[in-house]
Chains A and B, each alone.
Chain A
Amino acid sequence: MNPLLVVENVHVHRPGAEVLRGVNLTIYPAEVHVLLGLNGSGKSSLAYTLMGCAGYRPAQGRILFDGEDITDLPVPERARRGITLAWQEPARFEGLRTGDYIALGMREPTLARVEEALRAVALASAAYLGRPVDQTLSGGERKRIELAAVYAMRPRLAILDEPDSGIDVLGVEEITGLIRQMAAEGTAVLLITHRDEMADAADRASLMCGGTVVKTGSPDEVRAYFAQRCRPHEETLGAQPWEPVNGDVYKEVVTRGVCE
């Protein structure tokens, strides 16, 4: 099977830091690929880079989507090719109704599909269709609506950045069900999370550390690796990127890589 997305040796610099350091990643059509990593390891930076967000243009490397080099394409062009992103903390829009927001990305918007998307994230359409996507929504509600919008769009690649954060445990089960549903409808999902139990929903998994992908394999394999090698450093060093105040541990992690 030809890959849908190929990321080749991508480096991205942000002011004061290199946030991606030679990322390599391959995603196949309709697969659910979970991307694990501690906070600050570069997962969200990779998501913004794949979507083409401002300030995340690679200094080196390239991104291929369905064989086409999209490294220099702007966000709308990537979206029109079938890539979309659900932000970890979605933006809010004064005066924009939920139903209209969900319909924005649909090629042929229908009320039925919008309602189906709301049902898929356990929100009653009667209560939410007309509600504005603004500050009156809780964080959990807003994240569900973001997922509904991505689902309704039927993208070829959905990048979901921490969809499980800020939503209750029951919600996590609903989210994993929705992700499997998306894959069943032909959408490849790049699921970004620091909760390794989310790997249960995946076909394959990769692990990020220090701005690069350090391992790719089966979800069980990567999950075990993550738990054994990465979690202990989180307790010692806290969230990445780490400051060089922790002496020897920091040096070891940075110079040799967390998981080596």
Chain B
Amino acid sequence: MKAHTLPLSPASLLTRRDPAWARDFETILKAYEAAGGKPSALQSDRIASAVISANRVLMVNEIPGVHIEAEETPTGIRAHIRVDPGTRVEYPVHLCFGMIPQEGIQEIVPTFEIGEGAEVGFLAHCTFPNAMNLQHIMDATVRIGPGATMRYTEAHYHGPYGGIQVLPTSHVVVGEGGRFENEFNLTHGRVGRMEIRMEVDVAARGVAELTVKAYGIGEDSIRAEETVRLIGPDARGLTKTRIAVRDRAVGEVYTTMEGNAPGARGHMDCTEIVRGEAVARNTPIVIVRHDQARVTHEAAIGSVSRKELETLMARGLSEEEAVDIIIRGMLA
């Protein structure tokens, strides 16, 4: 087990470590910023955080009630993140995962345990600015206790080359009255090949909201597989997918929602915009095993609405500008 914990301040940050560490840290911070992260958040002792570069744990900062243990493995890290029962975490826990080299593999195996009645947000930035032949694999386990809330927002930046495979898998259990909100964004830079898999089991009165937003260009390939099982009475589930693909990119969304208990309510909402020779697929699967459950889905797949385009063009925008605004808005 190797975990770095230090009291941080901007002035002392880079001077208190060895030069190699400082170089790595500075480089990953720049990449973190390119992915949309705010380095200052990683330098605040009021914000729990962790910085992982390839298989190196560069920094961990814990705060009362939030415990982060990180262990380096040959190809990545294994992490255990616990939030004590009843803890209300004021600022989101900031996580930075990245790799600076053009090639390699990073396997992240995190476990999140959110104690009963706790409330916490996570802001994760995954940055691979030079990726040419790189794999980022995540296999996450999430346990949300009764009445607890976890919000997890993940933004990716993959640089301009598209030479990356992103393969995150998550297994989530939401306890009674618990809440899980997950948002995955990959809307800047190239996607490369991305396959998201998420399975969520929701207990009585629990809520799961899953959002995926991605923008594929060139030869990018986006595949999202989500399964939400509403297994307890009055459980709620929502999946929201927003994908834009152009050139020869492919966007595939496979969503399954199961209503297995009385009062369970689920909804799947998918919008995919297609330009050029790109291809979009959407396959919603609805399974209802109780006569008092209800699951619905809606999908809009295809070109940008002509009326939306002409509305913006009537303000003087070119067609390309109008398309860009519509796509950016959808992915905002």
Q: List the interface of chain A (C-beta within 8 A of B).
A: 51, 53-54, 74-76, 78-80, 83-85, 87, 90-96, 104-105, 132, 149, 153
B317 touches A93 (CB 8 A): no
- Identify the closest chain A residue to B271 (Cβ): A94
23 A–B contacts from the bound complex (CB under 8 Å): A51-B314, A54-B306, A75-B313, A76-B318, A78-B314, A79-B313, A79-B315, A79-B316, A84-B314, A87-B307, A90-B311, A91-B305, A92-B308, A93-B325, A93-B329, A95-B328, A95-B331, A96-B325, A96-B326, A96-B329, A104-B312, A149-B315, A153-B315
Q: Which of chain B's residues 131-184 have a Cβ closer than 8 Å to chain A? A: none
A93 to B304, CA, bound (A): 11
Chain B residues with Cβ below 8 Å from A83 are 314
- Identify the closest chain B residue to A74 (Cβ): B313
A105 to B315, CA, bound (A): 4
Chain B residues with Cβ below 8 Å from A75 are 310, 313-314
**B332 CB–A CB distance under 8 Å:** yes
B332 touches A85 (CB 8 A): no
Chain B residues with Cβ below 8 Å from A51 are 310, 314
Q: From residue B299, how far is it (CB to closest CB) to chain A in Å?
A: 14
- Identify the closest chain B residue to A92 (Cβ): B308
Minimum-distance CB pairs A-B, first 10: A105-B315, A95-B329, A95-B332, A96-B329, A75-B313, A79-B316, A91-B308, A91-B311, A104-B315, A91-B307
A93 touches B308 (CB 8 A): yes
Instruction: From known contacts A75-B310, A91-B307, infer whether A104 and B329 are also in contact, taking CB-CB under 8 Å.
Output: no
Instruction: From known contacts A76-B316, A105-B315, A105-B316, infer whether A54 and B332 are also in contact, taking CB-CB under 8 Å.
Output: no
Q: Which of chain B's residues 78-124 have a Cβ closer than 8 Å to chain A? A: none
Range of interface residues on B (Cβ < 8 Å): 20 to 34
Chain A residues with Cβ below 8 Å from B328 are 95
B332 touches A76 (CB 8 A): no
**B319 CB–A CB distance under 8 Å:** yes
A87 touches B319 (CB 8 A): no
**B34 CB–A CB distance under 8 Å:** no
Chain A residues with Cβ below 8 Å from B317 are 76, 79, 104
A76 to B271, CA, bound (A): 26
Chain A residues with Cβ below 8 Å from B332 are 94-96
Chain B residues with Cβ below 8 Å from A87 are 307, 311
Instruction: From known contacts A54-B306, A76-B318, A76-B319, infer whether A93 and B326 are also in contact, taking CB-CB under 8 Å.
Output: yes
A70 to B169, CA, bound (A): 55
**B198 CB–A CB distance under 8 Å:** no
Q: A54-B306, A153-B315 are in contact. List 19 more A-B contacts (CB 8 A).
A: A51-B314, A53-B310, A75-B310, A78-B314, A87-B311, A91-B305, A91-B311, A92-B308, A93-B308, A93-B329, A94-B329, A95-B329, A96-B325, A96-B326, A96-B332, A104-B315, A104-B317, A132-B329, A153-B316
A53 to B312, CA, bound (A): 12
**B288 CB–A CB distance under 8 Å:** no
Chain B residues with Cβ below 8 Å from A78 are 314
A80 touches B329 (CB 8 A): no
**B330 CB–A CB distance under 8 Å:** yes
A87 to B306, CA, bound (A): 13
Q: From residue A80, how far is it (CB to closest CB) to chain B in Å?
A: 5
A83 to B314, CA, bound (A): 7
Chain A residues with Cβ below 8 Å from B242 are 94
- Identify the closest chain A residue to B329 (Cβ): A95
Q: Of B305, B314, B330, which one neighbours A79 at CB under 8 angstroms?
A: B314
Q: From residue A200, how far is it (CB to closest CB) to chain B in Å?
A: 27
A83 to B315, CA, bound (A): 9
